[in-house]
A and B are shown apart, each in its own frame.
Chain A
């Protein structure tokens, strides 16, 4: 690397990382906000779980017969906290409950035992006091359903056992066992289609999301880098220094890549914390994907790396080409805004849909957007479809070459100084 380029690169990185706007928005924000969001969701989930676990139910036994006692005993056997209350009416019981922290009243009406013993439906009434509109209030209200359904199942088992003493009630209730297998990439996998679908879904969301975050932040950084030079009136001096114009452009591209990569790493760390908090309940995290043949091969890694590299370079060069037309950072950011759509559109669409399932005209639009190919390539890497990856590399490289050529043209001509996006007449220097 030439000394001019090294010098430029050091300056670019130093300048950008010391810029509070870039440091805060690109690096600190994702590092702080995503884990905070995850922690907030985790805390609320634990709070809900805790409130369900600790929930105490009030029971008003108006039946006072054997089955009602059996129901209460089954609750106690499940370690459900119960408070048996006496009141002259349900209204009075509810009024009494309002003075406590108990939110659920289970009323066992008279005739409960009689109905069940006669083979009729037993009736229970559950009154839930909503003290707020939070998620935990709803969860507490439905918490009583679990021990009740366990008791119901016990009744069913007893009935089956009485009718068919020599048969397993489980086999009567659930007479067919289904074992699922999936054939993927020519391999027989002992997993369900739903499980595989879950993994694919996480990939469908993950890759486009990463590409979108990375490209948008890279474009903003590159645009800021150029427009800041214009805003602070440093570009003219820079362009008269004994450094090749292409070195200056390369310095901007590489500097922005380094900062964007730092931003992407920060975002990924943040997102990782976030998803770990959100998806900690799923089984996917406990499965070794390489054992299922679902991990990337070394060749796929290599191709994916190449695609990500050219994709970032093209986005940076595009942002630089656009930012050259601005006179300050604010103008550059507003110019970049509409161009971000070419990153956001394919990312969002391909998060939810398969490109082949889309209408033809929409497919054509997406295929014309270069960043569609980056996302398609990332998916192809996952399933080992190298033909699609190579086609995508070709498309994105072609686009990158064109954008780099335009950026180089702009930088080696006076356009870098004189270009302005304005309907007004060009301003003439003195």
Chain B
């Protein structure tokens, strides 16, 4: 088994004249929860999209469990699941139909797919509401459904862009617990981005503070706080950007 779940080396991405990523480099070990923190436009989503095979880097390389995302996108898609920040779900399907549709891509075995759907039902906590059409769901309910979809197949790597975005405190807490359980129980590796420093501190084994497409500092939350002699990651981030 590879000892690197993610290996990103000198990643560049340009959108016309705009530089979204400027030599991003980091590695994530299997079973880690790795967080990317940064302001809007720092390049977090671009990095996640490249790893999710949605867009291609202009330069550099990105590998998921030794599979190059440019050369082997189909293979990469089999072992990852990606949750975009503003993701929605098919409004005219019921929650169950949506989960069944998603599960069918990962398993031809109906029984196995059914187990995944039941697992997702448990994660989402939506109960009987899963029989209703998604268009009747609140934003928080949809997000819970999407998180459940992303985790139900126990992917080797879950790429979660702002996983608790739009959730209230109780549900955000529930989702964080689920993510932690999944990592502990199934050895799932998680790469997430977040604006919520508390969330990152609570969840992540290691974090990278990024700005303008580059990593400013990387380490465990405690290491980063100690490095800047501050109480929390928010202050560390302010210090890190000031020192650039």
A residues with CB within 8 A of B:
3-4, 7, 10-11, 14-15, 18-19, 232-234, 236-237, 239-244, 413-414, 417-418, 425-426, 428-430
Q: How far, in Å, is A186 (CB) from chain B's closest CB? A: 55
Choice from A4, A236, A413 contacting B84 with Cβ under 8 Å = A236
Partner of B20, one of A4, A234, A428: A428
Chain A residue numbers with a CB within 8 Å of B101 are 7, 10-11
Q: Are A15 and B56 touching (Cβ within 8 A)?
A: no
- By beta carbon, the residue of chain A nearest B83 is A237
Question: Residue on B with the closest CB to A17?
Answer: B92
- Stretch of B25-33, B47-55, B176-184 contacting A (4+ beta carbons < 8 Å): B47-55
Q: Do B74 and A244 have beta carbons less than 8 Å apart? A: yes
- The answer for the CA separation of A239 and B53 in the assembled complex, in Å, is 8
- List the B side residues contacting A413 at CB < 8 Å: 56
Cβ contact of A3, chosen from B49, B56, B104, cutoff 8 A: B104
If the complex has contacts A7-B105, A15-B93, A428-B15, are A233 and B87 also in contact, measured as CB distance less than 8 A? yes
Determine if B16 and A14 form an interchain contact, defined as CB atoms under 8 angstroms apart.
Answer: no
20 sampled A-B residue pairs with Cβ under 8 A: A11-B93, A14-B93, A14-B97, A15-B92, A15-B93, A18-B93, A232-B90, A233-B88, A234-B89, A236-B84, A237-B82, A237-B87, A237-B146, A237-B149, A240-B80, A242-B105, A244-B74, A417-B54, A428-B46, A430-B46
| Alpha-carbon gap, A244 to B192, bound state (A) | 25
Interface centre among A11, A237, A239 (most CB of B within 10 A): A237
Interface centre among B86, B88, B106, B146 (most CB of A within 10 A): B88
Cβ contact within 8 Å between A237 and B84 = yes
Q: Are B15 and A430 in contact (CB under 8 A)?
A: no
- Report the 7 A-B pairs with minimum CB-CB distance, sorted nearest first: A18-B92, A429-B45, A232-B88, A414-B55, A240-B82, A233-B88, A430-B45
Residue contact A430 to B38, C-beta cutoff 8 Å: yes
User: B42: which A residues are within 8 A, CB to CB?
Assistant: 430
Apart from A237-B84, A240-B81, A426-B18, 13 more pairs, CB < 8 Å: A4-B105, A7-B101, A7-B104, A14-B97, A18-B133, A239-B54, A414-B56, A418-B55, A425-B16, A428-B20, A428-B41, A429-B20, A430-B45
Enumerate chain A residues within 8 angstroms of B108, measured Cβ to Cβ.
Answer: 3
B193 interfacial contact with A, CB 8 Å: yes
| B156 contacts chain A at the CB level, 8 A cutoff | no
A417→B15 CA distance, assembly (Å): 13
Complex Cα spacing A19 to B133, Å: 12
Interface: B227 (CB within 8 A):
no
Question: When the two chains form the complex, which single residue of A3, A4, A14, A426 contacts B92, counting CB atoms closer than 8 Å?
Answer: A14
Task: List residues of chain B with CB under 8 Å of any chain A CB.
Answer: 15-16, 18, 20, 38, 40-46, 49, 52-56, 74, 77-78, 80-93, 97, 101-102, 104-106, 108, 133, 146, 149, 193
Would B86 and A241 count as touching, CB distance under 8 A? no
B residues near A414, Cβ cutoff 8 Å? 54-56
A233, A240, A244: residue with the most chain B Cβ atoms closer than 10 Å: A240
What distance in Å separates the Cβ of A173 from its nearest Cβ neighbour in chain B?
71
Instruction: Please give me the residue from chain A that is nearest to B82 by CB atom.
Output: A240
Alpha-carbon separation in the docked complex, A425 to B105 (Å):
36
- State the Cβ distance, A243 to closest chain B Cβ, in Å: 6
B113 CB → nearest A CB, Å: 10
By a CB distance below 8 angstroms, the chain B residues around A4 are 104-105
Contacts of B46 in A (CB 8 A): 428-430
Q: Which of chain B's residues has its CB closest to A429's CB? A: B45
Q: Which of B53, B77, B81, B93 has the most CB of A within 10 A?
A: B77
B41 contacts across to A, CB distance below 8 A: 428, 430
In the assembled complex, the Cα of A159 lies from the Cα of B241 at a distance in Å of 115
Are A429 and B16 within 8 A (Cβ)?
A: no
Chain B residues with CB under 8 Å of A3's CB are: 104, 108
CA distance A15 to B74 in the complex (A): 26
Query: Complex Cα distance A418/B46, Å?
Result: 11
Contacts of B90 in A (CB 8 A): 11, 15, 232, 234
Residue of B nearest to A7 (CB): B104
B105–A19 contact, CB under 8 A?
no
Q: Indicate if the CB atoms of B15 and A240 lie closer than 8 Å.
A: no
Q: Of B53, B84, B89, which is in contact with the most chain A CB atoms at under 10 Å from its CB?
A: B84
A240 touches B53 (CB 8 A): yes
Report yes or no: B77 in contact with A242, Cβ–Cβ below 8 A.
yes
A175 to B73, CA, bound (A): 87
Contact assessment for B92 and A19 in the assembled complex, using a CB-CB cutoff below 8 Å: yes
Chain A residues whose CB sits within 8 angstroms of the CB of B92 once the complex forms: 14-15, 18-19
Rounded to whole Å, the gap between the CB of B203 and the closest CB of chain A is 19
Partner of A425, one of B18, B20, B40, B133: B18
- Kindly identify which residue among B16, B40, B52, B88 contacts A240, using a CB–CB cutoff of 8 Å: B52
CA distance A236 to B54 in the complex (A): 7
Chain A hits for B85, CB < 8 A: 430
Task: For A426, give its contact among B15, B53, B84 (CB under 8 Å).
Answer: B15
Contacts of A418 in B (CB 8 A): 15, 55
In the bound complex, do residue A236 and residue B82 qualify as a contact, i.e. CB atoms below 8 Å apart? yes
CA distance A14 to B100 in the complex (A): 13
Query: A244–B91 Cα gap in the complex (Å)?
Result: 23
Chain A residue at minimal CB-CB distance from B153? A242
Instruction: Return the chain B residue nearest A412 by Cβ.
Output: B73
Q: Which of B18, B20, B105, B133 makes the CB contact (< 8 A) with A241?
A: B105
Q: Shortest distance in angstroms between B144's beta carbon and chain A's nearest beta carbon?
A: 15
Among A10, A417, A425, A430, find the residue whose CB has the most chain B CB atoms closer than 10 A. Answer: A430
* Bound-complex Cα distance A239 to B49 (A): 11
Q: B15: which A residues are within 8 A, CB to CB?
A: 418, 426, 428
Asked whether B43 lies within 8 Å of A233 as measured between CB atoms, the reply is: no
